[in-house]
């Protein structure tokens, strides 16, 4: 039987929060039963690090929702009022209303699907409404919209969309403090993953094939992550079996190499003071 290549499981990965949550849960679900003492201790540390990431992510989502929800509601209310003002102009006599001819054109631009855009996800709703205002300007109808709906209504929509866009980080940079805290938690989590893999690999004995099979099963999530990273690096975008892994965004770094700064959405992995394992350290004969 071919000897397990430990280095394939000990590479450093840079992952985002979603991938980290999947990876941690998958590794814990596949842990050996019964585990060796070192594996049990490393699994407990991994579970703790995973819990810290999950709790921080939940706090971020709650805080983000608390900020965005009222801004989204305000923008939606202003948009409904704007569209309503334009629709009311349909009842005016065409010969007494100078912009009667453009009312239907304006409605086709700002409300082609009624209010269907308002319940969309925050960023999608902002993008949709902002694009519709841009279409009005591109059509040379901005002045007509102000005349038909009224300057206060148009101004309110523009201001509420600007506030929502800033909070979403689309039109203005958001604070990096929370992101930096999350990156620190992700660094600790990935070190825990490395330690856990090291302990699992330490149970492998070359003269006992069943120990190798057990380690492969326990570390299958890391293999899935490594394969996906290799495909991404090669520019291959393939659907990945959801039972194995989500399509994680990550890059693989040589365990012995210095780690470069990752993309902002990911957590950097930096060299630690912990000793780096060599294959000879974990695949020793009994």
Does one domain contain both 158 and 182?
A: no
Q: Is the pLDDT of residue 146 over 70?
A: yes
Q: How far apart are CA 207 and CA 282, in angstroms?
A: 14
Mean pLDDT over all residues of the chain?
Answer: 80
For residue 14, the enclosing domain spans: 6-32+176-282
Single out the residue in 152, 168, 184 at which a domain terminates.
168
How confident is the model at residue 62, as a pLDDT?
A: 79
- Look at residue 136 and tell me if it is in a domain: yes
Helices (H), the chain: 17-29, 37-88, 100-110, 122-138, 142-149, 151-168, 177-201, 209-218, 220-233, 279-282
Does one domain contain both 99 and 152?
A: yes
Does one domain contain both 229 and 276?
A: yes
Does one domain contain both 112 and 83?
A: yes
Q: Percent of the chain, pLDDT > 90?
A: 46
- Look at residue 218 and tell me if it is in a domain: yes
Q: Is the pLDDT of residue 63 over 90?
A: no
- Look at residue 98 and tell me if it is in a domain: yes
Does one domain contain both 155 and 198?
A: no
pLDDT mean over 202-219: 90
- Look at residue 157 and tell me if it is in a domain: yes
How confident is the model at residue 138, as a pLDDT?
A: 95
pLDDT band at 248 (very low <50, low <70, confident <90, very high): very low
pLDDT per residue as tens digits for the range 97-113? 777 788 989 999 999 99
Structurally, the chain folds into a number of domains equal to: 2
pLDDT per residue as tens digits for the range 180-198? 888 899 999 999 999 999 9
How confident is the model at residue 85, as a pLDDT?
A: 93
- Look at residue 45 and tell me if it is in a domain: no
- Look at residue 61 and tell me if it is in a domain: no
pLDDT band at 178 (very low <50, low <70, confident <90, very high): low
pLDDT mean over 251-257: 35
Does one domain contain both 151 and 183?
A: no
Please, what sign has the CA dihedral across residues 248, 186, 271, 255? negative
Q: Is the pLDDT of residue 278 over 80?
A: no
- Look at residue 40 and tell me if it is in a domain: no
Does one domain contain both 184 and 240?
A: yes
Single out the residue in 168, 199, 214 at which a domain terminates.
168
pLDDT band at 207 (very low <50, low <70, confident <90, very high): confident
For 238, residues 6+ apart whose C-beta sits below 8 A from its C-beta are 231
Does one domain contain both 222 and 158?
A: no
pLDDT per residue as tens digits for the range 105-138? 999 999 999 889 899 888 999 999 999 999 999 9
User: Mean pLDDT: which of 96-110, 208-222, 252-266 is highest?
Assistant: 208-222
How confident is the model at residue 129, as a pLDDT?
A: 95
Single out the residue in 116, 136, 168 at which a domain terminates.
168
pLDDT band at 89 (very low <50, low <70, confident <90, very high): confident
SS3 call for 51: helix
How confident is the model at residue 58, as a pLDDT?
A: 87
Q: Is the pLDDT of residue 32 over 50?
A: yes
How confident is the model at residue 272, as a pLDDT?
A: 40
Would you call 41 exposed, middle or buried from its count of C-beta atoms within 10 A (0-12, 13-18, 19+)? middle
pTM of the model: 0.54
pLDDT mean over 30-35: 91
- Look at residue 53 and tell me if it is in a domain: no
Does one domain contain both 182 and 265?
A: yes
pLDDT band at 259 (very low <50, low <70, confident <90, very high): very low
CA torsion, points 56, 57, 62, 64, in degrees to nearest 10? 110
Does one domain contain both 200 and 132?
A: no
Does one domain contain both 145 and 77?
A: yes
Does one domain contain both 107 and 20?
A: no
């Amino acid at each position: 039987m071919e000897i397990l290549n430990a280095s394939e499981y000990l590479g450093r990965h840079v992952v985002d929060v979603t991938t980290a949550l999947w990876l941690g849960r998958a590794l814990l679900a596949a842990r050996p039963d019964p585990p060796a003492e070192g594996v049990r201790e490393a699994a407990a540390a991994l579970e703790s690090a995973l819990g810290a990431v999950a709790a921080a992510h939940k706090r971020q989502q709650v805080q983000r929702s608390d900020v965005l929800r009222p801004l989204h509601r305000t923008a939606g209310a202003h948009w409904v009022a704007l569209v309503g003002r334009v629709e009311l102009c349909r009842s005016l006599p065409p010969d007494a209303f100078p912009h009667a001819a453009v009312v239907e054109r304006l409605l086709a631009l700002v409300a082609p699907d009624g209010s269907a855009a308002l319940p969309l996800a925050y960023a999608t709703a902002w993008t949709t409404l902002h694009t519709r205002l841009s279409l009005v300007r591109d059509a040379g109808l901005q002045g007509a919209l102000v005349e038909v709906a009224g300057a206060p209504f148009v101004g309110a929509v523009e201001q509420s969309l600007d506030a929502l866009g800033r909070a979403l980080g689309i039109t203005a940079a958001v604070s990096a403090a929370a992101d930096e805290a999350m990156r620190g938690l992700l660094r600790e989590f990935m070190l825990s993953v490395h330690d856990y893999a090291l302990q699992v690999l330490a149970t492998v004995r070359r003269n006992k094939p069943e120990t190798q099979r057990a380690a492969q099963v326990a570390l299958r999530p890391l293999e899935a992550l490594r394969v996906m990273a290799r495909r991404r690096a090669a520019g291959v975008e393939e659907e990945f079996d959801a039972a194995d892994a989500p399509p994680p965004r990550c890059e693989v770094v040589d365990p012995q190499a210095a780690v470069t700064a990752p993309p902002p959405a990911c957590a950097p992995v930096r060299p630690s003071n912990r000793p780096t394992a060599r294959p000879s350290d974990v695949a020793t004969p009994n």
